Amino acid sequence: MGEFRKIFGRIRKIVDIPNLIDIQVKSYEKFLQMDTPSDKRGNFGLQGAFKSVFPISDYSKKCSLEFVSYKIGGVRYDVKECIQKGMSYAAPLKIVVRLLIFDVDPGTGQKQISNIKEQEIYFGEIPLMTENGTFIVNGTERVIVSQLHRSPGIFFDHDKGKTLASGKLIYSARVIPIRGSWLDLEFDSKDILFVRIDRRRKMPVTILLKAMGNSTEFILNYFYSIETIFLDEEEFFMAVDGSLMGEKAADDIKDPKSGEVIVKKGRKINKVLLKKMSDLGVNRIAMDEADVIGKILSSDILDPETGEVLLRCNEELDRDGLKLLRAKNIKEARFIHLDEERANASIRDTLLADRIEAVEDAVIEIYRRLRPSNPPTPETANTFFRSLFFEPETYDLSDVGRAKMNYKLRLDVPTDVTVLKKEDIMAAVKYLIELKNGGGDYSVDDIDHLGNRRVRSVGELIENQYRIGLVRMERAIKEKMSLQDIETMMPHDLVNAKPVSAVVNEFFGSSQLSQFMDQTNPLSEITHKRRLSALGPGGLTRERAGFEVRDVHPTHYGRICPVETPEGPNIGLIVSLSTYARVNEFGFIETPYRLVEDGRVLDEVRYMTAIEEENFIVAQADRPLDKEGRFIGEMISARKGGDFITVEPSDINYMDVSPNQLVSV
């Protein structure tokens, strides 16, 4: 039939308008993985939900129920019949499970499989999506609206000076997982750094760092640069290294060969002077006694004869301590390097506030703060602490959260590691301290930026419901395993799909995100399927949502329509995807741009998220071009990171694909 659409615009069409209901259809296809063989299914969607709960073992570990595969049967009624008869458009879901029964040797405790029973079990009906991206529930057509929520990962913020009367900024960080405990780091008015787990009582962050197996000495060495001071009979010398940066010269520093003064007395040492000194072979410089007294030791100082601890790590060196070092003939000591601008004493002060040394004591202290009623044993405290952030069963950062964490903290932990690592927490604390000290490369996050908000489409929302139902079913299975004689039981005696079906049916019937489809006209149907809501379970509430969340953000350009939003209490909380926008595999919204090379606009198109777009200069779609695709004019109006600027054509990286890229259908 050929092209039947007439374009009246002046601008040549580069990209076709995409399939507008792809966001619904693709998401549900990914959830079901219907056309993928059961052994090749990825660990996400329905398969991921089953894999996260199975295998289920009883309390004595004598038997285990494993998930093998699932299959979706044929549909009993087609869409038309379902609407006429008031039925739901769904297909039977069947799962294959395997029950393993073990014989446990009482002497050695070794397990051997004594029996294997495998069975296919009917697991209720699973709703299917029609080709129009809707669901038929009890004869009515419904749409699952996608949810726009805060992305998992790490976020840095400050209180904008509202907490203290002086207007001093209080900095904080928050690690948000998809599932598990929230971790908050925050400074107080005295610059001591505290941690909160699940918004409970705060405690010094060093308790958490010690519970992960770090000593006081390791913590000081991680957060501060270390300076070595040599002690002679009457004099003090300092090694020439990076820790000298910002120190004042106690005396003239001279070239050892020519005697020429390199650094005058009292002058601050900077990078240039440091390089000059090392080039000329100056490897240590003299210091005043007054500058040595008051320094903080970075490690324990031991008696060379007895091995007894003379001065403890994190202790301030006073005159008595100095006399003791000289009396014991100790020639060198290591100190942490503090200065007002770059390395303040917050971690050192926090270590003084916590008064806990041993790892076991730190773990027990965390248990006491979070579970005040139960007196702990070291084993229960350790198990509890590991389950907070380090076990995949109880904590899931998700691949999105891991990617964002790596990006923000400049780590390279593999993306399949979705629990917190020791280095994550250490790096987060270090970033927060650098941010407070005003480090140039460190910045607070804008939570309304579309790089920090992601879309949960229909597939992910229903996967979460299946997880909730399966966890309820898991409890029932464990109880049945321990109550009845397992030898005579078959898998179908253990598995009851009712709790799962109940949760899924409740979601389709009464969730805030499951809505009766707007059927005023065909266009309103499409816009309903492309709608994004910040409300719903795990999202915002109308009453709590402030002005900033509802506002139009520069990153909405080409991703979310700035015009289409309801008036009234939901304004800005319910929005629509822009015409050319699409949602990527991580749930972030992408928009297409034409590539520009040396001022020449190509027909090659690249989709970019808000974070990727930030550093590029993007020209408007209506900029006039000559026949070769070069910009006409010497200076062109363009965008960079939310600001409009005027640049030369050669500086432009990308160009919008269409003027209606900005708005929705």
The CATH number of whichever domain residue 634 belongs to comes to 2.30.150.10
Most confident region among 159-163, 185-189, 321-325 by mean pLDDT? 185-189
Q: Which residue type, as a one-letter code, is found at position 306?
A: T
Q: So what's the pLDDT on residue 340?
A: 62
- Domain CATH number, residue 85: 3.90.1100.10
My answer on whether 353 and 433 are in the same domain is yes
Confidence of residue 39 (pLDDT cuts 50, 70, 90): confident
3-state DSSP helix/strand/coil percent for the chain, to nearest 5? 30, 25, 45
pLDDT at 503: 93
Residue with tokens 């904590």: 395
Q: Strand, helix or coil at 383? A: helix
Here the CATH number for the domain that contains residue 281 is 3.90.105.10
Our count of domains for the chain comes to 4
Determine phi and psi for 319, rounding to 5 degrees.
-65, -40
Residue 537 clears pLDDT 50, i.e. is over it: yes
Identify which of 289, 300, 298, 348 has the alpha carbon closest to the alpha carbon of residue 322. Answer: 289
- Where is 461: in which H helix or E strand? helix 458-483
pLDDT per residue over 205-235, tens digit each? 999 999 988 888 888 888 888 887 777 766 6
Q: Per DSSP, what are the bridge partners of residue 482?
A: none
* Segment 577-601, tens digit of pLDDT: 999 999 998 899 999 999 998 888 9
How confident is residue 492, by pLDDT bands cut at 50, 70 and 90? Answer: confident
What percentage of the chain reaches a pLDDT higher than 70?
93
Which of these three, 516, 535, 558, is where a domain ends? 516
Average pLDDT, the chain: 86
* pLDDT tops 60 at residue 2: no
- Residue 535 domain-assigned (yes or no): no
Pair (206, 354) in one structural domain:
yes
| Residue 244: per-residue pLDDT | 63
Distance CA 388, CA 211 (A): 12
Residue 302: inside a domain: yes
Range from 8-17, 107-116, 156-165, 326-335 that averages highest in pLDDT:
156-165
**What is residue 100's three-state secondary structure?**
strand
Please indicate, yes or no, if residue 528 is contained in any of the structural domains. Answer: no
- For residue 108, with 0-12 CB atoms within 10 Å meaning exposed, 13-18 middle and 19 or more buried, which class applies? exposed
Contacts 24+ apart (CB under 8 A), 408-411: 408/153, 408/154, 408/156, 408/445, 409/154
Distance CA 13, CA 17 (A): 10
Query: What does the pLDDT read at residue 583?
Result: 93
Task: Enumerate the β-bridge partners of residue 135.
Answer: 142
Joined together, the tokens standing for residue 331 give 């020639």
Residues 482 and 441 in one domain: no
Q: Would you place residue 265 in the very low, low, confident or very high pLDDT band (cuts 50, 70, 90)? A: confident
Same structural domain for residues 179 and 129? Answer: no
Q: Residue 69: which pLDDT band, with cuts at 50, 70 and 90?
A: very high
> What is the Cα–Cα distance from 203 to 206, expressed in whole angstroms?
8
With contact defined as beta carbons under 8 Å apart, do 458 and 145 qualify? Answer: no
DSSP state at residue 259 = -
Residue 328 in this model has a pLDDT that exceeds 80: no
Same domain, 166 and 197: yes
Domain co-membership, 26 together with 144: yes
Distance in Å from the first CA to the final CA of the chain:
25
Which has more confidence, 248 or 571? 571
Parallel/antiparallel/unpaired status of strands 56-57 and 236-239: unpaired
Mean pLDDT of the region 399-409? 89
The whole-angstrom separation of Cα 171 and Cα 46 is 40
Prediction pTM value: 0.85
pLDDT at 413 over 60: yes
pLDDT at 281: 67
Give yes or no: residues 32 and 140 share one domain: yes
Domain limit, last residue, from 304, 337, 370: 337
pLDDT at position 148 is 92
The domain boundary residue, chosen from 397, 423, 447: 447
Residue 179 pLDDT exceeds 90: no
* pLDDT-derived band at 1, boundaries 50, 70, 90: very low
User: Of 80-94, 146-160, 202-216, 294-308, where does mean pLDDT reach its minimum?
Assistant: 294-308
Beta strands per DSSP E along 278-331: 284-287, 301-302, 309-311
Q: Which string of b and e fits 466-489 if b means at least 16 CB within 10 Å?
A: bbbbbeebeeebbebbeeeebeeb
Do 244 and 292 lie in one domain? The reply is yes
pLDDT at position 647 over 80:
yes
Based on the domain organization, do 428 and 464 belong to the same domain? Answer: no
User: Does 401 share its domain with 328?
Assistant: no
Q: Where in the sequence is the domain holding 420, given as residue range(s)? A: 153-214+349-447
Average pLDDT over residues 603-632: 90
Q: What is d(CA 382, CA 364) in angstroms, rounded to the nearest whole number?
A: 8
- Give pLDDT, residue 642: 83
d(CA 481, CA 265): 80
Q: Is the pLDDT of residue 9 over 80?
A: no
Question: Does residue 270 share a domain with residue 303?
Answer: yes
Read off the pLDDT of residues 116-156 as tens digits, 9 standing for 90 and up. 888 999 999 999 999 999 999 999 999 999 999 999 999 99
Phi, psi of 292 (to 5 degrees): -80, -40
Q: Is residue 441 part of a domain?
A: yes
Residues 500-536: pLDDT tens digits?
Answer: 999 999 999 889 999 999 989 999 999 999 999 999 8
Dihedral sign for Cα 236, 239, 243, 245, please: positive
Residues 140 and 157 in one domain: no
3-state secondary structure of 502: helix
